[in-house]
Amino acid sequence: MKKPSVASDAPCRPCEFSGDLGRSVLNALSAHIAILDAQGVIMETNKAWQAFAAAGNGNSAQQFIGVNYLAVCDATEGPDAPDARAVAAGIRAVIRGEVQEYLHDYPCHSPTEQHWFYLRAIRMEAREQVQVVVSHEEITQLKLAEEALRQSKKAIEDQKQDLEETNIALKVLLKQREADKGELEQKVLTNIKDLVFPYIEKLKRAPLRPKDKTTVTVIENHLNDIISPLLQRLANVNILLTPQEMQVAALVKDGRSSKEIADILNVSETTVHFHRKNLRRKFNIKNNATNLRTYLMSMA
């Protein structure tokens, strides 16, 4: 919204600020100030107002004394019209005494620069005459700072959104990786159990030399170390198991009966029961209703 840009020779009445002290105070203020009478006619302006007017039309003598500020606002057209109408309505409300103060901020851009102003209209009564002090304080730097802050906030929000989306994508990838890993482990376990262990069991029952039996046992133990994720889980919880207890635990988890475990490990069923009892004790399974295989499967 532009300030009045036409001059007038209309007479003006005395203003309370026409004294030297009042004028000195007005001229010392950085705000662009005009004093209006009850009809909206400009009675007085300060140096800041005059300097702004000179910058706009090149006439340093233009003070707009006698110009009807409200009429100028009413006649404003174009993009500034809504602000001008709002200001005129606000000042009239102050003149009528409906409000003591009216506030409004608005843009006032030139072809080369952007400016924003904060308008403040205050009612005062002087010598039984209503007068209104209208001040325009430039708030361009504040508006620019607000816009910079808004842009910065938007950039942070965009970055946060990008990070959230990246995080979701990473979670999906990690979940898929875990699924692929589990599927691969299952394939390895199935293949070794179905294609390798049956032959190892046959070899263990065959009439081999002690040295060959030892070799078969070593192969079986190493395969169990490779294929059993359970062993790593047991290591993570710091449970100390003997090598044969690990073998029994892996076979129990696979659903083998005590007799099958005894045949595979070439030990007695009594030995298998002993190991199962030790496993329950080391895992602190005190409830007899808790199944050892179920517990071991929950750890894998």
What are the pLDDT tens digits along the chain (300 aa)? 555 544 444 444 445 555 677 778 778 887 889 999 999 999 888 888 888 777 765 554 456 788 999 999 999 898 889 999 999 999 999 999 999 999 998 887 777 888 888 899 999 876 678 899 999 888 888 888 888 898 999 999 999 999 999 999 999 998 888 878 767 766 776 677 777 877 888 888 888 888 888 888 888 888 877 766 655 555 555 566 777 887 888 888 888 899 988 988 888 999 999 999 999 988 888 888 889 988 888 765
pLDDT at 166: 92
Q: Report pLDDT for 132.
A: 93
pTM of the model: 0.46
**Dihedrals phi, psi of 288, to nearest 5 degrees:** -65, -20
Q: What is the pLDDT of residue 21?
A: 76
Rounded Cα–Cα distance for residues 68 and 12 (Å): 11
Task: Produce one character per residue of 272-285: b if its CB has 16 or more CB atoms within 10 Å, e if not.
Answer: beebbebbbeebeb
Q: Is 118 helix (H, G, I), strand (E, B) or coil?
A: strand
Q: What pLDDT, on a 0 to 100 scale, did the predictor assign at position 182?
A: 66
Instruction: Say yes or no: domain 182-299 is CATH 1.10.10.10.
Output: yes
Q: Which residue ranges make up each domain of the chain?
A: 20-138, 140-181, 182-299
146 contacts: CB under 8 Å, gap ≥ 6: none
Q: Residue holding tokens 């209104």? A: 132
Query: What pLDDT, on a 0 to 100 scale, did the predictor assign at position 181?
Result: 74
pLDDT at 10 (0 to 100): 44
Q: What are phi and psi of 27, to 5 degrees?
A: -70, -20
Distance CA 76, CA 2 (A): 8
Pick the CATH number of 20-138 from 3.40.1280.10, 3.30.450.20, 3.40.190.290, 3.40.50.2300: 3.30.450.20
